[in-house]
Structure 1
Amino acid sequence: MPVATGDDMTLDQTAPGAKLVASLLGARAAPVLATIDLDAPLSAIGPNGTVPRAGLAAALNVLLFDDLLARVPTGAAFVAEQRARDERIRFDHGAIRTVCLVGGDTGALPAGQAAIARILQPLGYAVAGIYPLPRLRMTGHAWAHRDQPELLPQFFVSELHVDQFDAQFQYVAQRVFGTSSDPLTEASRAALLQLERDESIPFQMALDVLPNFLSAFGRQHETPSLRDYEALLSQSAEAAWIATEGNAFNHATSRVADIYEAADRQRARGVPIKDSVEVSQNGRVRQTAFRADPVERPFAVEGSEVTRRVPGSFYEIISRDIDPATGTLDLSFDTGNATGIFAMTRAA
């Protein structure tokens, strides 16, 4: 049976997921909830009025999307244009970059994607595909929600394999990322254990820990030195990006019906978007993206700080066709597509 979408239902403002967003975003909640089509999972209610994992996952995605738009003016402009056309955003996926240091954890963080997986798994996500990115010396992991895979955004979590670089790069990466602290509190760990067991948690517990979950999607290491940043950049633009942005959303992606029409419309407006559309090998997944917006970031230089303009995050659009073998939406990714899209932070 098809699952209801935002077009089929009205958001239940009294549902736990919607109330979480309203409690944390205040006056901004109404326009954000009207923008993102996550009505079905946000309206879900667990036993005895608890927050089900799908509702909590949806609330986290809303907050992450809102955070990205605050950092990415081109994305905010695209979303505003969609709303002016009376179109809601179908949030397809968010992308996160992580680091695997040589020999173990990343400072106090679990190695690579494990730092994010420990949050995603209790929220109902599971790995739906693994995508080697050899040109970038990375591996991507697609996490899809077990309950509502077509409605809830996926997470594309990539790992940078430091052991595939030379000894000098490894030394610098250890110095930069080895300072990472672990943002998760004991209360958050307890909530994740309860979510894993019961697939829902009480509303007040969710409200207490959701801001801490959100903080895990940020930079956990100390301010890098300018020299170390440049050393990383000389071999990996992706490593340099993580040095300033950490585990923040590298990009957020909305699903559109006709990516070529949407891309042409942006080019006509003079928006800095890729010249081409990336098409998957099976032909069913098409992606393009805006150039990353620059941001000002601090760097340590001889005991003081300087500010430099560096690539920040960006916004992507995607279209997906039905997989004829399953009759469902093709939610897969493509190594070639991903490699091409990752270059948008270099283009900045």
Structure 2
Amino acid sequence: MPSAPQSHANPDQTLFRLLAATVGADKAALALTTLTIDPALAGTGDTVSRAQVAMALNAALFADLLDRVPTAQRYIDTVRAAGETIVFDHGALRTIDGETGDLPSGHMAFGRFLAPLGYEVGGLYPLPKLKMTGRAYVQRDLPETIPQFFVSELHVDQLPEAAQGACTNVFGTSKDPLGKDEWAALDTIASDGVCTFDTAVTALKGALACFERQHETPALADYELLLPETKEGAWIATEGNAFNHATTRTADVLALSDTLKDAGYPMKAAVEISQNGRVRQTAILADKVVRPFREADGSDVPLPVPGSFYEFITRDIDPETGKLDLTFDSGNATGIFAVTRNA
């Protein structure tokens, strides 16, 4: 749903300063002039709210995804050239419900630090065809204007024994990026809802570090065991806990899909429509990336694999509440997951 741009790259505003202190002024300016930002989040002074930290986290992840996904950058360039901004609806993450070394297992690898930023689970979405479960994390203060996180977890115990062993080999080496200082900052935000500027920077940098690959380079043999059983598990083996995709909320995803296909984007073939008909989604197929794999002799071999991608969603008003339908749909989610399979 493009809208007229508003400048939120004012160096005196708290949100810009927080983002710039974390990712640099150039990336902060790019993100905050590309995204439609709720004016309530701009802020002044050195007191930072949990909502501002949450929005800064999303803006930083959005900027990082553009660095990693050329087709997403291409789309955003066209939006900016038209003088428009985008509504950032949600981002997605994939986790492992199994042995994960020093990391909490499954969705709590993220839920543990999203909760202090005002997030709560707003919906549970079984994904049985993928042996996964998804959870929608909604920011309580500004649920319609701060992006949600759709956090899925792969249930390792539902995989064949050999694939379970491969999961343990790969994900059992995970390290936890959150240390004492980061937790002290997050605990302050959790208890008070606000914090000092320096505390916010510490919390934000800690949260961002959680969106990296926390495990060691996967063995090629383990990856080859995972790939036929769970392409999602194979994706996590190479990409870790990276931001899987970012999503633009648009007025007419069906029309936009046709427009992007005509422009040569490698789009998902069909738009996914929820059972209630109010949520419609499609995506650009994942860009390929080159990742290292460990061979039996200890050397690394680089191979092309699916990376992250960009998604589009249309949400209608729920007639029972009169508010935007912020829910997801298990069928839609299962269909969207295919864009990293078909890249």
TM normalised by structure 2 equals 0.95
Matched residue SS, 1:210: helix
| Map of 1:20 onto structure 2 | 18
Say whether 1:210 aligns with 2:204.
Answer: yes
Instruction: Deviation per CA, 1:294-324: give whole Å up to 9, x if none.
Output: 0000000121000000000000000111111
8 Å contact 2:30–2:63 — kept in the other structure?
no
Deviates more, 1:152-161 or 1:8-17: 8-17
Say whether 1:224 aligns with 2:218.
Answer: yes
Per-residue deviation, 1:28: 3.0
Return the alpha-carbon distance in structure 2 between the equivalents of residues 134 and 342 of structure 1: 13
Matched residue SS, 1:56: helix
8 Å contact 1:18–1:42 — kept in the other structure?
no
Return the alpha-carbon distance in structure 1 between the equivalents of residues 315 and 108 of structure 2: 28
**Which amino acid is 1:117 matched to?**
G
Q: What is the correspondence of 1:94-243 to structure 2 with a 5 Å cutoff? A: 94-101=91-98, 105-243=99-237
Return the alpha-carbon distance in structure 1 between the equivalents of residues 321 and 93 of structure 2: 28
- In structure 2, relative to structure 1, the CA distance for the partners of 1:9 and 1:275 (3 Å cut) is closer
8 Å contact 2:31–2:60 — kept in the other structure?
no
Matched residue SS, 1:111: coil
Per-residue deviation, 1:107: 0.6
Q: What is the correspondence of 1:86-101 to structure 2 with a 5 Å cutoff? A: 86-101=83-98
8 Å contact 2:50–2:118 — kept in the other structure?
yes
Return the alpha-carbon distance in structure 1 between the equivalents of residues 286 and 141 of structure 2: 32
8 Å contact 1:267–1:273 — kept in the other structure?
yes
Gaps (5+ residues) in structure 2? none
Say whether 1:63 aligns with 2:57.
Answer: no
**Which amino acid is 1:37 matched to?**
T
**Which amino acid is 2:274 matched to?**
S
Say whether 1:325 aligns with 2:323.
Answer: no
Per-residue deviation, 1:202: 0.5
Say whether 1:80 aligns with 2:74.
Answer: no
**Which amino acid is 2:124 matched to?**
I
8 Å contact 1:95–1:251 — kept in the other structure?
yes
Per-residue deviation, 1:10: 5.5
**Which amino acid is 2:321 matched to?**
T
Matched residue SS, 1:282: coil
Report the aligned-residue RMSD.
1.7
Instruction: Deviation per CA, 1:62-118: give whole Å up to 9, x if none.
Output: 0000011111111111111112222201100000000011xxx51100110111001
Matched residue SS, 2:83: coil
| Map of 1:53 onto structure 2 | 50
Return the alpha-carbon distance in structure 2 between the equivalents of residues 227 and 27 of structure 1: 41
Matched residue SS, 1:249: coil
Return the alpha-carbon distance in structure 2 between the equivalents of residues 55 and 15 of structure 1: 11
Q: What is the correspondence of 1:234-313 to structure 2 with a 5 Å cutoff? A: 234-301=228-295, 302-313=297-308
Identity %: 53
8 Å contact 1:41–1:152 — kept in the other structure?
no
Instruction: Deviation per CA, 1:223-281: give whole Å up to 9, x if none.
Output: 00111111110200000000000111111101011112211111111110012110000
8 Å contact 1:15–1:42 — kept in the other structure?
no
Per-residue deviation, 1:208: 3.0
Matched residue SS, 1:257: coil
Deviates more, 1:31-40 or 1:147-156: 31-40
Return the alpha-carbon distance in structure 1 between the equivalents of residues 315 and 97 of structure 2: 31
8 Å contact 1:9–1:40 — kept in the other structure?
no
Return the alpha-carbon distance in structure 2 between the equivalents of residues 39 and 336 of structure 1: 31
Deviates more, 1:148-157 or 1:161-170: 161-170
8 Å contact 1:41–1:151 — kept in the other structure?
no
Deviates more, 1:209-218 or 1:332-341: 209-218
TM normalised by structure 1 equals 0.94
Gaps (5+ residues) in structure 1? none
**Which amino acid is 2:72 matched to?**
G
8 Å contact 1:6–1:39 — kept in the other structure?
no
8 Å contact 1:95–1:252 — kept in the other structure?
yes
**Which amino acid is 1:280 matched to?**
S
Deviates more, 1:160-169 or 1:149-158: 160-169
Say whether 1:346 aligns with 2:328.
Answer: no
8 Å contact 2:28–2:60 — kept in the other structure?
no
8 Å contact 1:41–1:58 — kept in the other structure?
no
Return the alpha-carbon distance in structure 1 between the equivalents of residues 157 and 26 of structure 2: 46
Per-residue deviation, 1:209: 3.5
- In structure 2, relative to structure 1, the CA distance for the partners of 1:199 and 1:6 (3 Å cut) is farther
**Which amino acid is 1:330 matched to?**
D
Per-residue deviation, 1:7: 6.0
